[in-house]
Amino acid sequence: MSRKEELSRHAARLFAEKGYHGTSIGDLADSMGVQRGSLYAHIEGKEDLLYETMRDGAAAFHGALNSVPDGAAPAEKVRLALRAHMRVVSEQLDVATVFIQEWKYLEGERLEEIVAERHRYEERIRELFREGRDLGELRADLDVTAAALAFLSAANWAYTWLTPGSDTDALADRFYALFLDGFRGYSAHS
């Protein structure tokens, strides 16, 4: 691992644990066992590291969604997307925590860029639900906005309770089953 990559990893871990504002360049240097001054060869300041963690997060979530096969049936795509998202949260818990929780501390163009990436991701999730509705696999009157919010809530909120090493595929499938058929379970009446 390059010194730069090592720095990014330590930054993500410290930002996730102590918050962006709770982490100083001195903390980073201590955590890596180097002199504080040596870090300035790689970064201008702490915000560079926050921005890189956010870009890593955006790339991880978009990359996970890209892994869902285009040709899968719409509801199956929702299931696979939920698995993929929760896997990122679990496997890259530090990056995901920072991506979800600390984005607001970015400033200027970097903030705009990351907010736009978040919106683009949310729109891709809504599109999955739209496709499912339009192709008749999901209900014709599906509330696409609420469905995407429920998906993102369940998948993102996991960063607060997931323990490392959890079987997130099984958890994602439980949410999927619950979301698809509902809490009331019409199947009992049909």
* Binding site residues, a copy of itself, CB under 8 A: 18-23, 75, 78, 101, 105, 129, 132, 137-143, 146-147, 149-150, 152-154, 156-158, 161, 171, 174-175, 177-190
Shortest Å distance, C-beta 92 to a copy of itself: 19
Nearer to a copy of itself, 3 or 177 (CB): 177
Shortest Å distance, C-beta 174 to a copy of itself: 4
Please answer whether residues 98 and 57 qualify as being in contact, where contact means their C-beta atoms are separated by less than 8 angstroms.
yes
Nearer to a copy of itself, 65 or 129 (CB): 129
Shortest Å distance, C-beta 171 to a copy of itself: 8
Helices 108-134 + 74-91 axis angle, to 10: 150
Shortest Å distance, C-beta 93 to a copy of itself: 13
Q: How many residues does the chain have?
A: 190
Exposed e or buried b per residue across 76-90, where buried means at least 16 C-beta atoms within 10 angstroms of its C-beta? ebbbbbbbbbbbbbb
Please answer whether residues 88 and 152 qualify as being in contact, where contact means their C-beta atoms are separated by less than 8 angstroms.
no
